[in-house]
Amino acid sequence: MSQYLVRRLITFIPTLFGISIIIFFVMHLIPGDTITAMIGTSFKLTEAQTAALRAYFGLDKPLPVQYLRWLWAALQGNFGYSARDALPVLPLILDHFPLTLELSVFSMAIALLLGVPLGIYAAVKRDTTIDLAARTFALVGLAMPNFWLGMLIILVLSLYLGLAPNAGNYVGFFVNPLANLKEMIFPAITLGFASTADVMRMVRSSMLEELGQDYARTARAKGLSERAVFLRHCLKNALIPVVTIVGLETGYLFCGAIIVESVYALPGIGWLLLNGITERDYPVIQGTILFISFCFVLVNLVTDLVYAWVDPRIRYE
């Protein structure tokens, strides 16, 4: 296991490099001058002032040098300063991140609590009405844009139940758990819907596969009840692929949160990013994208390690 851990950690570092290179160079695709982008167009600078600023920020250096300087600063936690209010970007991100993290964790919990039992049940009751209903749910869940689902939920809540989700007054979970849950439950359902469908589909197919394996037949042949075959023999193996999907989904949840936060007006990291985009605040955009991608890669790394720990076959490949 430790050998696998080292091998996997070695591939982690180049991935982070790759991400940082893409982010840095895509930022340089932005048309227009960086200084203008920083200062805004309302101030007119003289040539000399622009040149002095370029030299000050190191923008007169070649791109690879600029990249290395930026990377070195980022590694030390310096993501630059917001162009709008001159606040350092990293603390800004860390301020908004807990909400996004909480939203993603809740959504994942919903996806697992509903998706796993539904998937098992659908597999056990294969080709019945229940199975058909579960499969239809999976199809719709994966085809439905989450922002539309969010809007439908708000519509039903406000129009028919008179329960408008109170946008804009978010309280932390540890400050007031009840108020926090009340505000987070619908965004979490919205975000977790597609993941529930995905988890359900995965569990169903892997359960069906396990039920057809030789060891399941042996268990049946020696006279075990179908229930024991399901619960004692197949379930554990069927849940192994769920580990992978949890990892992948968590990454996508961070990303889906951007849209869901905008639907429910929640001040998470997605809100920060979209605000940055509207205000053309490039250090914020660059910082949030770097941060979200870093989390995504980290979650994938953890998933791979957990997977190798659960399924020893992986380690020896």
Residue number with CB closer to other proteins (56 or 148): 148
Q: Among 1, 7, 9, 22, which residue sits at the site for other proteins (rule: CB under 8 A)?
A: 22
Binding piece for other proteins, criterion CB under 8 A, among 23-31, 70-78, 176-184, 307-315: 23-31
Closest CA relative to residue 264, chosen from 162, 147, 97: 147
Indicate whether 29 belongs to the interface with other proteins (CB under 8 A).
yes
- What is each CA distance from 259 to 98, 102, 301, in whole angstroms? 16, 15, 25
Locate 41 and state its tokens.
């167009």
Locate 99 and state its tokens.
């909400």
- What is each CA distance from 301 to 4, 126, 228, 290, 313, in whole angstroms? 12, 34, 34, 16, 17
Indicate whether 59 belongs to the interface with other proteins (CB under 8 A).
no
Q: Among 1, 109, 133, 152, which residue sits at the site for other proteins (rule: CB under 8 A)?
A: 152
- Determine the residue type at 34: T
- What is each CA distance from 26 to 21, 82, 252, 272, 289, in whole angstroms? 8, 18, 21, 19, 11
What is the C-alpha separation between 232 and 224, in angstroms, rounded?
10
The CB-of-307 to other proteins minimum distance in angstroms stands at 17
Indicate whether 157 belongs to the interface with other proteins (CB under 8 A).
no
Binding piece for other proteins, criterion CB under 8 A, among 54-62, 107-115, 174-182, 269-277: 269-277
Indicate whether 14 belongs to the interface with other proteins (CB under 8 A).
yes
Cβ proximity of 8 and 304 under 8 Å: yes
The CB-of-255 to other proteins minimum distance in angstroms stands at 4
The CB-of-26 to other proteins minimum distance in angstroms stands at 5
Q: Among 73, 132, 133, 139, which residue sits at the site for other proteins (rule: CB under 8 A)?
A: 139
The CB-of-52 to other proteins minimum distance in angstroms stands at 26
- What is each CA distance from 307 to 12, 106, 108, 247, 304, in whole angstroms? 16, 22, 17, 10, 5
Locate 13 and state its tokens.
């570092």
Cβ proximity of 257 and 103 under 8 Å: yes
What is the C-alpha separation between 257 and 237, in angstroms, rounded?
31
Indicate whether 145 belongs to the interface with other proteins (CB under 8 A).
yes
Residue number with CB closer to other proteins (47 or 213): 213
Instruction: Give the residue carrying structure tokens 């229940």.
Output: 130
What is the C-alpha separation between 245 and 239, in angstroms, rounded?
10
Indicate whether 62 belongs to the interface with other proteins (CB under 8 A).
no
Residue number with CB closer to other proteins (173 or 252): 252
Indicate whether 38 belongs to the interface with other proteins (CB under 8 A).
no
What is the C-alpha separation between 179 and 170, in angstroms, rounded?
8
Q: Among 33, 277, 302, 312, which residue sits at the site for other proteins (rule: CB under 8 A)?
A: 277
Q: Among 39, 101, 151, 179, which residue sits at the site for other proteins (rule: CB under 8 A)?
A: 151
Indicate whether 154 belongs to the interface with other proteins (CB under 8 A).
yes
Indicate whether 289 belongs to the interface with other proteins (CB under 8 A).
yes
* Interacting residues with other proteins (CB under 8 A): 14-15, 18-19, 21-23, 26-27, 29-31, 139-140, 142-145, 147-148, 151-152, 154-155, 158-159, 251-252, 254-256, 258-259, 262-263, 273-274, 277-278, 285, 289, 292-293, 296-297
